[in-house]
Amino acid sequence: MKLSHPELLECRICPQNCGVNRRETTGFCGAGVSLRVNGAHLHHGEEPVLSGTGGSGTIFFSHCNLCCVYCQNHQISHLGWGREISEQDCAHMMLSLQEAGAHNVNLVSPTQFTPQLAATLRLARAQGLSVPVVWNSNAYEKPDTLKTLSGLVDIYLPDLKYAHPAYASKYSQALDYPALALKAVQEMHAQVGRLEISAAGLALRGLLVRHLVLPNRLAGTRDLLYRLRETLGEGVCLSLMAQYYPTAAARKYSELARGLRPEEYAEALEVALNLGYAEVYAQELDPSPNWTPTFSSEATENPITHFNGRKHDAI
């Protein structure tokens, strides 16, 4: 009998390169061979081109191949809250979100499950999934792994985190993050190109880069946005996130133990506008957990819920 996903027998699908057999154990990310999800939401607080009026159909996957000390989804990324589901059940979840009126299916933190999700998306498409698929990742990915998603993902939504290796290592345990994430974003751009928006104002295909602004300039926003602009040229759409607040282990670091200040976010916006990004989405500044979905520790089937989140504006 042919084994599915043989690449998981010696897993090197992401830059952590653990080399473990995920049928028997787990590597850095903590994920095994089966998909694990925490819930599905009609999310009304994503960028307006994703949420529209019906909401973005978010599926939150458990585990993560980074270990960010300030992760706002730490219950699922670090602790692995969620339940195991089959690829067919995940395809059904995607179809249920479409039937509930979602403008897209938004896969949140999917990297550690790339082979399983590639198979799931083929199943879902064969069964009638027609809305765009959003790959909502941390950008710590391998171009060769991303190539397996070509033709399956319509919109790439990477959160490009750091400009400088020292901070990527200190806060996310990924010294090589800045260089590798930029290469991953290049591959995403090569697959889907500029963001295409319908007459109704909804994203159909393309790249939308997110960046979470950190206090004390720790993300290196100025350098990161410059490098991104130099690498991809004109036409990049950017979402500058102001939603940082100290959570998880962040309070152990004095430089991360406060929310973002208005002048820090204003500086980031000024940099983005001066560099000439095609479109910039801004967030209201509110350093609190009010926008974060409520994650369940129960390993039970979750119904689709509505979640409002915080407002984004194009500027």
Domain membership of residue 4 (yes or no) is: no
**Host H or E run for residue 267:** helix 262-275
Flag whether 2 is in a domain: no
- Give whole-number Cα distances, 54 to 45, 136, 311, in Å: 11, 18, 15
What is the reported pLDDT for 142?
A: 98
Residue 13 · residue 7 · CB < 8 Å: yes
Q: Alpha carbon of 242 to those of 88, 167, 214: distances in Å?
A: 36, 19, 8
Chain-centroid distance, C-alpha 199: 26
The token pair at 274 is 């001066």
pLDDT at 307: 47
100: left (phi over 0), alpha (psi -120 to 50) or beta: alpha
Domain holding 214, by residue range, is 36-314
Predicted local confidence at residue 288, as pLDDT: 63
**Number of domains, the chain:** 1
- The answer to whether residue 123 is domain-embedded is yes
For residue 252, the tally of other CB atoms under 10 A from its CB is 10
The pTM of the full predicted model, rounded to 2 decimals, is 0.94
Phi-psi region of 79 (alpha: psi -120 to 50; beta: other; left: phi over 0): alpha
Q: 217 in the Ramachandran plot: left (φ > 0), alpha (ψ -120 to 50) or beta?
A: left
What's the pLDDT at 309?
55
Q: Is 71 helix (H, G, I), strand (E, B) or coil?
A: coil
Chunked into runs of 10 residues, the chain (315 residues) has average pLDDT values of 82 98 97 96 95 97 97 94 97 98 98 98 98 98 98 98 98 98 98 97 98 98 98 94 93 96 97 93 78 62 54 58
Query: Is 30 part of a structural domain of the chain?
Result: no
Residue 159 DSSP class: B
Amino acid at 111: T
CA count, 13 A, side-chain hemisphere, 119: 12
β-strand partners of 206: 155
In a domain? residue 31: no
CATH number at residue 284: 3.20.20.70
Would you call 174 helix, strand, or coil by DSSP? coil
Question: Is the residue at 142 inside a domain?
Answer: yes
Nearest C-alpha neighbor of 217 from the set 280, 166, 279, 284 = 166
The CA dihedral of 125, 86, 146, 123, to the nearest 10 degrees, is: -20
Whether 220 is in a domain gets the answer: yes
What is the torsional sign of CA 233, 239, 243, 249?
A: negative
Is position 85 within any domain? yes
- Hey, how many other C-beta atoms are within 10 angstroms of the C-beta on 262? 9
264 near 219, Cβ under 8 Å?
A: no
